């Protein structure tokens, strides 16, 4: 039996759920549906099928530490399972964004370096989707590995429940179990997989309605399953320029990465491959592509409202409100999306939240930092929240978790003042080390290496006041 490997794609621009997601913190790193982030939910789903030692992530350099931290937490906290360790080199770093085809090829090179053989099977999945039925997802993957073992490039096709114009579609062909010449039944048996006839672009509404009625079309999930042998054979035919980059390891591919033309895996390979299979997926899937989509997924009250955070709704209906930092009160309104973050408030009508991309584009053209930078962030050692900021000053509340260490760093263009709010820490300042306690203050001059270890029994918290002519060098 072939071994199974997993690749989790963790790129993304972070625009569709602005202002909670940003370019610096795309939605896969956010807890939008439950207590775990979308990446951690993806990890948990994949660990039902792929052993942790054969699971990898392809990510941007800027997210490597966060990806590893969140993935490690997901592996350690598996319900009903033992604590598990990520493999060496779990986070495979892309030098730059080049869409999904180059990212997947880089991941495949890492899988090869981990010992995968030609007949071994790789499962590729995005990290920013919601799947409400992980068992059905795992069952679909097991069926897909059977198709992949027979030499098919395989994908999961989401069974549509509405005429959606925002997704690409896959038209199914003959069920694999059907003999040549037999009539294709309208409702094939459970667990069946199909040869894929065509990949179809996003349709208009009448066409989407016809697709739904026919029962022959699936939404394209972006989940791919293939053996290494099949992938390389199809690449040699459909994208020889990409195939020529394979076989020399991750280091060589990274060296060539910036010269690769950005292209999706669908366009480069799946849409032109000879043998493509599609496995139906009916597991409560959503790509969480807008605030409206999230409203439909989350629990609603009797008036159709969804609220996250400290929210009061009076005589209001069909609203989504996300306000996790302060009280939000809505009175006598309907059909609104209200998202309150520390540095930006976004309000739009339900049904128009897809336009957030246009909003973000316009703000970016104006040079607004709120599009890119985050005002609060989680890190492997804890996290921080920006309380206020101007051109020469930034004030943050920083938390270092019990037993964790804020890494040693130094700033060349700014000074910092720290005021310890709670806890006890071991401070490194230049070539000296000492303990600091609640209520103490510390001045950190420019060009001075500094770090902080939480050596107490509670989370350590402090206020950091940074001042200088340039604040962008911060690596917290």
> In the 3-class helix/strand/coil scheme, how is the chain assigned residue by residue?
CCCEEEEEECCCCCCCCCCCCECCECHHHCCCCCCCCHHHHHHHHHCCCCCHHHEEEEEEHHHHHHHHHHHHHHHHCCCCCCCCCCCCCCEEEECCCCCHHHHHHHHHHHHHHCCCCCCCEEEEEECCCEECCHHHHHHHHHHHHHHHHCCCEEEEEECCCCCCCCCCEEEEEEECCCCCCCCCCCCCCCCCCEEEEEEECCCCHHHHHHHHHHCCEEEEEEEEEEEHHHHHHHHHHHCHHHHCCCCCHHHHHHHHHHHCCCCCHHHHCHHHCCCEEEEEECCCEECCCCHHHHHHHCCCCCCCCEEEEEEEEECCECCEEEEEEEEEEEECCECEEEEEECCEEEEEECCCHHHHHHHHHHHHHCCCHHHCCCCEEEECCEEEEEEEECCCEEEEEEEECCCCEEEEECCCCEEEEEEEEECEEEEEECCEEEEEECCCEEEECCCCCEEEEECCCCCEEEEEEEEECCCCCCCC
Note the pLDDT tens digit of each residue in 409-437: 898 888 999 999 999 999 999 999 999 99
- Percent with pLDDT over 70 in the chain: 93
pLDDT at position 231 is 97
Is the model's pLDDT at 79 over the cut of 60?
no
Residue 375: pLDDT band with limits 50, 70, 90: confident
Indicate the pTM of the whole model.
0.85
Give mean pLDDT, residues 88-92.
92
pLDDT at position 379 is 77
Note the pLDDT tens digit of each residue in 430-460: 999 999 999 999 999 999 999 999 999 999 9
Note the pLDDT tens digit of each residue in 131-155: 999 999 999 999 999 999 999 999 9
Q: Which CATH superfamily is domain 381-468 in?
A: Jelly Rolls (2.60.120.10)
Residue 185: pLDDT band with limits 50, 70, 90: low
Is the model's pLDDT at 288 over the cut of 80?
yes
Residue 179: pLDDT band with limits 50, 70, 90: very low
Q: Which CATH superfamily is domain 4-286 in?
A: Spore Coat Polysaccharide Biosynthesis Protein SpsA; Chain A (3.90.550.10)
Residue 33: pLDDT band with limits 50, 70, 90: confident
Is the model's pLDDT at 82 over the cut of 70?
no
Residue 392: pLDDT band with limits 50, 70, 90: confident
Where exactly are the structural domains of the chain?
Answer: 4-286, 291-368, 381-468
């Amino acid at each position: 039996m072939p071994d199974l490997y997993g690749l989790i794609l963790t790129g993304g621009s972070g625009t569709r759920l602005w202002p909670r997601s940003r370019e610096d913190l795309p939605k896969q790193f956010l807890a939008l549906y439950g207590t775990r982030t979308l990446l951690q939910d993806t990890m948990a789903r994949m660990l039902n099928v792929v052993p942790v030692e054969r699971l990898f992530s392809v990510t941007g350099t800027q997210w490597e530490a966060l990806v590893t931290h969140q993935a490690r937490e997901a592996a350690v906290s598996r319900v009903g399972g033992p604590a598990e360790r990520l493999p060496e080199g779990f986070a495979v770093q892309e030098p730059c964004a080049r869409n999904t085809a180059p990212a997947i090829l880089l991941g495949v090179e890492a899988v090869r370096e981990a010992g995968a053989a030609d007949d071994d099977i790789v499962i590729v999945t995005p990290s920013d989707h919601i799947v409400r039925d992980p068992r059905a997802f795992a069952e679909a993957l097991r069926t897909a590995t059977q198709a992949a073992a027979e030499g098919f490039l395989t994908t999961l096709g989401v069974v549509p429940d509405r005429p959606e114009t925002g997704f690409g579609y896959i038209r199914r062909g003959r069920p694999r179990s059907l003999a040549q010449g037999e009539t294709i039944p309208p409702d094939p048996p459970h667990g069946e997989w199909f040869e894929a006839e065509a990949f179809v672009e996003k349709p208009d509404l009448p066409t989407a309605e016809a697709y739904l009625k026919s029962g022959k079309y699936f939404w394209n999930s972006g989940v791919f399953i293939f053996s290494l042998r099949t992938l390389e054979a199809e690449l040699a035919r459909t994208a020889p320029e990409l195939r020529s980059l394979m076989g020399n390891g991750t280091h060589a591919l990274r060296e060539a990465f910036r010269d690769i033309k950005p292209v999706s895996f669908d366009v480069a390979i799946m849409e032109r491959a000879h043998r493509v299979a599609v496995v139906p997926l009916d597991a409560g899937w959503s790509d969480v592509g807008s605030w409206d989509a999230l409203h439909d997924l989350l629990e609603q009250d009797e008036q159709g409202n969804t609220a996250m955070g400290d929210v009061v709704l009076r005589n209001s209906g069909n609203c989504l409100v996300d306000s996790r930092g302060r009280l939000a009160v809505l009175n006598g309104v309907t059909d609104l999306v209200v998202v309150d973050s520390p540095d930006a408030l976004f309000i739009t009508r339900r049904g128009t939240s897809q336009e957030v991309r246009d909003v973000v584009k316009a703000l970016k053209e104006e040079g607004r930092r709120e599009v890119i930078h985050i005002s609060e962030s989680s890190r492997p050692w804890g996290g921080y929240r920006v309380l206020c900021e101007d051109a020469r000053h930034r004030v943050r509340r920083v938390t270092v978790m019990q037993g964790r260490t804020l890494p040693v760093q130094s700033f060349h263009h700014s000074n910092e003042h720290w005021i310890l709010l709670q806890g006890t820490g071991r401070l490194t300042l230049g070539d000296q080390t000492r303990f600091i306690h609640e209520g103490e203050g510390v001045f950190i001059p420019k060009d001075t290496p500094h770090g902080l270890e939480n050596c107490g029994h509670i989370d350590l918290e402090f206020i950091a006041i940074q001042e200088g002519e340039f604040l962008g060098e911060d690596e917290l």
